[in-house]
Chain A
Amino acid sequence: MPGLDVSGVTKRFGEREVLRGLDLNLRPGQTYGLLGSNGAGKTTAMNIITGLLDQDEGTVTLEGAPLNADARAVVGVVPQEVALYHHLTCRENLRFFGSIYRLRGSALGRRVDAVIELCQLEEYADTPVSSLSGGWRHRVNIAVGMVHQPKVLLLDEPTTGQDIEARYRLWSVIRSLRDQDTAVLLSTHMMEEAEAVCDRVGILHRGRIEREGTLDELYATIPAAEMAEVETDDPSALERRAGELGLGLRRYGGKLTVLLPERSTLSDVVARLGRVPIRSLALRPVGLQHVFFDVVGSRV
């Protein structure tokens, strides 16, 4: 099925190569998470896909055709920062951006009403953006990207700085776009966000997708059924004991974690670790954060 295809995209800023042969495919109705830490190249990738930056090498195509100005009419963009006209109301912003995406007359009115409802903006629809709180402005910022019912929606870290309620609301909106066959490319550094809404996730590291797949496929790349996060005053004892038991030991985000080949109970893990002084122990399912740290390299 045709969609958005990014193939072999390379981008250099002077001597610095920010993207090194980025490949990415996005199909209708799919939500793709572009996951990476700060400086991984996410924003550069998003800027190239939106046409704000030219790539040095590679191609970006939508339904087989280059992503030129005309093709951009079916792409929605939600930038990381709120980019709105502050003296205009939410509805006026939506009407303006809808108009420049070639919506006119009653079709424009219907879409503005629909997106106000979808993003639950009814209460503040006729309030100037300058009078809204940061969270509401973010919500309008997102609504503007969807007003023309794009086939592809590009969201650049859309929930950065938002409270948990706003995040959950946006995730619900993104999930609802699946039913409309909208392809969503979500750039994020939040594992929880990627796990909540994405069908596929690509982990961007040093300018290229280092690992990609569905969430289950990514979890399967970690050789464990469960993870035991151990807090200990004697890490070397834990390392020795894990070695004796033939268990993997890794550090994920500062936490020493034993990779358990089968699901276990806390008492079973405590018994297996024997004399290792344990301050705290938690059993967790394999998550995206484990895959992420596995890719970016954070082993013991």
Chain B
Amino acid sequence: MLADSVVVAGRVLEELRRNRRLLFFWVVFPTLMLLLFGWVYADGYGGLGPSFSATAPGILIGAAMFFSCLSGPVALIVGGRERRTLRRLMASPLSGKSYFLGVVWAHLGIAAGQVALVYGITYGVGGSFQGSIMLGVVIVALSAVAYVGLGFVFGARLARRTEDVTGLVAAVGVPLLVLGGTFFTTDMLPPFLYAVAQLDPIFHMNEAFRGAAHGDIPVADMAGSLVFLALFAPVSLVLGARSYASMLDRERTS
């Protein structure tokens, strides 16, 4: 299963490498968001370096990885259904579990690429990641896994056609991004919205990674978000796997 999943991951990454337009957007979007918000908040933070350091976590987790690791699996599933490649795979010895795992590996690789992009720019303007790199890696990995799981739920249950993907991501995802404090710190939220935001997984991803990136925040202060994320990521993965399995059953009987 592991070898097959690596083959699937290689195929997803190779296809992304060849899909220059998508790759371009996945690079341009977080780059522009980071440059814009880093610039907007520069006065408040006392310079570009500190501003980019503070802005980078939200842009990485809430913007870059949201669009790649969540909408990526949705597009893969919908595209596979439309182009009939999923049915071809179903007739092969490749198991659904291997395919699922392969997509997870691929998106962990994509997340690593986006970390390099966002922090490459951040370091380029004098910013930095000041906390525990190990903790940062764990949070990025858990966030990527959580997004991929949700992507499978959306792709397998909600999006029937390619054109549904954009609408679904815009309607469900963008409000979660805003509420999750992707583009501003959540202490700007009014009390009611702050309470609602506690239910938003992106809020906890952002809070946990901001805490890890800052360096001076004790782990206990972000323990709630870390626990939420540590529980949410496997739950999301299981839900995604089950949604995908039931979609394959539906495809098989259609």
Contact = CB atoms under 8 A, between A and B. Distances in A.
Nearest to B7: A99
Contact of A88 (B18, B94, B253): B18
Interface in A153-189: none
A128 B92 contact: no
B87 interface: yes
A224 interface: no
Interface in B70-91: 83-85, 87-91
Contacts of B91: 50-52, 72, 75, 77, 79
Given A85-B11, A87-B19, A100-B4, A53 B252 contact: yes
A73 B95 CA distance: 12
Given A85-B15, A88-B11, A102 B93 contact: yes
Given A83-B85, A84-B83, A128-B18, A100 B90 contact: no
Interface in B42-101: 83-85, 87-95
A87 B15 contact: yes
A41 to B, nearest CB: 16
Given A70-B93, A73-B93, A88-B18, A53 B253 contact: yes
Determine chain B's interface SS by DSSP, over half rule: helix
B14 interface: yes
Interface in B1-53: 4, 7-8, 10-11, 14-15, 18-19
Interface in A46-101: 50-54, 69-70, 72-73, 75, 77, 79, 81-88, 92, 96-97, 99-101
Contacts of B15: 85, 87-88
A52 B92 CA distance: 10
Contacts of A102: 93
A81 B87 CA distance: 11
A111 to B, nearest CB: 15
B87 A52 contact: yes
Given A79-B87, A88-B11, A100 B94 contact: yes
B83 A83 contact: yes
A96 B4 CA distance: 10
A79 B83 CA distance: 11
Nearest to B18: A87
Given A52-B91, A53-B252, A54-B252, A85 B84 contact: no
Given A83-B85, A88-B11, A97 B92 contact: yes
B162 to A, nearest CB: 13
A96 B102 CA distance: 13
B158 to A, nearest CB: 23
Contacts of A88: 11, 14-15, 18
Nearest to B90: A52
Contacts of B253: 53-54
A275 to B, nearest CB: 58
A50 B87 CA distance: 10
A128 B94 CA distance: 24
Nearest to B85: A83
B69 to A, nearest CB: 19
B84 A69 contact: no
Given A77-B88, A96-B11, A101 B93 contact: yes
A100 B252 contact: no
B86 to A, nearest CB: 8
Interface in A202-230: none
A69 B252 contact: no
5 contacts: A72-B91, A83-B83, A85-B15, A99-B4, A128-B18
3 smallest beta-carbon distances between A and B, as pairs: A83-B84, A83-B88, A50-B91
